[in-house]
Every structure is written in C-alpha cells, then in structure tokens.
Amino acid sequence: MKDVFSPLFIGFKFTNYINDDVDNFLKLYNRKIVAEHTKAVANECKIIAEKFGVDVQKAELAGLLHDISAVFSFDERLNISNNLGLEVLNEEKEFPLILHQKISAVMAQDIWNINDEHVLSAIGCHTTLQRNYSELDLVLFIADKIKWDQKGIPPYIEQVEEGLKISLEHAAYAYIKYIMENKENLKVIHPWLTEAYEDLNFKIN
Ligand SMILES: [Fe+2]
Ligand SMILES: [Fe+2]
C-alpha cells in the first residue's frame, strides 16, 4: 500500500465483502453522507447497467469505490495528488475538490487491487466525464448525478431521466447541458467536462 494511504488503514479490519469494507471505512472517518451516497450510487449503477447491457458487476464496483477518497479533507487533496504523481490541471489546482475522482481511482487500484481499466477509468472521471468515454464511464457519471450527495431533488433530474429513456449518451448530455446553462453556479469548468460535452453533442445531434 502506498505511504499516503497506509496510515488510514492502521487497525482497519477488512472483511471478505467490499460493500461492507467501503461502508466501514467511510464511516470510520465520519463520512456518513458519502457512505449513504455510495450505496445509492452503486445500486443505481446496477440498475442503469442492467438496462443498457453494461457489465453490472463492474458498474457496482465502480459505484462502490468512486468517492472513497472522500476520507481526505478538501485541503489535503492537492498535496495527496502531488504525492501520488497525478497530473494536476489548473482548474483542479483552483478547485481541488475535483481531484477526488483521480485519487479514488488510485485508491481502488492500490488498496482494493482493482486492475480493470474500465472500472478505474469510470471512477477516475465520474465527476467530469471525459472525451472518448466508455459505456461504463457514462453509467457511473449518470448514477452519481441521479443519486447526488446533496439534499433534495437534483434540479436536472427530469431531463436526465428523459435522456435515459433514449440512451446513456442522451442522459449524460442532458446533465451537462443543464450544467453549462447554469455555469454561474460552477467554481470552474473542468476541460474534461467540456470535451465530453463536445463528443456527446457530436454523437447526438
Ligand atoms: Fe465524487
Ligand atoms: Fe459521488
């Protein structure tokens, strides 16, 4: 295990069930809302994957681990990313919260021995999506937005659900379209989001 992660696991007992381990680990660091969000997202991943013929097990796994790096505080994320040798974009320096997607992917591989590139990719772009997204990337991206970690109903939910009646791409497009039309609420616009939007727009329209 990497040095930046090992202190977090001192005394932590792994079971044979990743669902339990993730839940216990997040709760150990008082991330109860994230723990509930994680369960909801993993479940939503299964539902969406099933509907579109995407690997259900991989989708659930990606959902379970996508926010695992939430145990690090906002101020730690930049340091951790530098420590791990991750590429940090200017937008991420400005708003390090977004870095949690990349850190979660490293944790999934390093701690839970996930080596499936599709699962790691989906975790690593679950907030922003990315250019040349895979179906699994789309499944997690959409599930994370439907089962968001905030109070109340997501303002874009109707458009995303309408999109899901057609395709994964339509749902992802509907979400990003909403975000782009309400840009003033965003701290930064991540370039991956813009690139994904271009790809989706090309594909759909
Ligand atoms: Fe996240
Ligand atoms: Fe999330």
Each residue's pLDDT, cut to its tens digit, for the chain (205 residues) gives 999 999 999 999 999 899 999 999 999 999 999 999 999 999 999 999 999 999 999 999 999 999 999 999 988 999 999 999 999 999 999 999 999 999 999 999 999 999 999 999 999 999 999 999 999 999 999 999 999 999 999 999 999 999 999 999 999 999 999 999 998 888 899 999 999 999 999 999 9
Instruction: Determine, yes or no, domain membership for 48.
Output: yes
| Ligand whose nearest atom lies closest to the CA of 145 | 2
Instruction: Determine, yes or no, domain membership for 31.
Output: yes
The pLDDT value given to residue 186: 86
CA of 138 to the centre of ligand 1 (A): 14
CA of 38 to the centre of ligand 2 (A): 7
| CATH code of 34's domain | 1.10.3210.10
Instruction: Determine, yes or no, domain membership for 36.
Output: yes
Measured N-to-C along each axis, helices 117-124 and 135-146 cross at an angle, to the nearest 10 degrees, of 40
CA of 147 to the centre of ligand 1 (A): 11
Distance, in Å, from the CA atom of 195 to the CA atom of 37, rounded to the nearest integer, reads 27
Structural domain total, the chain: 1
Structure tokens at 69: 């790096």
Q: CB atoms < 10 A from the CB of 31, how many? A: 17
| Ligand whose nearest atom lies closest to the CA of 143 | 2
Instruction: With beta carbons less than 8 A apart as the criterion, state whether 140 and 126 touch.
Output: yes
Instruction: Determine, yes or no, domain membership for 1.
Output: no
Instruction: Determine, yes or no, domain membership for 63.
Output: yes
Sequence-distant contacts of 181-189: CB under 8 A, at least 24 apart: 182/155, 187/94, 187/95, 187/97, 188/91, 188/94, 188/95, 188/98, 189/91
For 129, the domain range is: 6-204
CA of 50 to the centre of ligand 2 (A): 20
Instruction: Determine, yes or no, domain membership for 22.
Output: yes
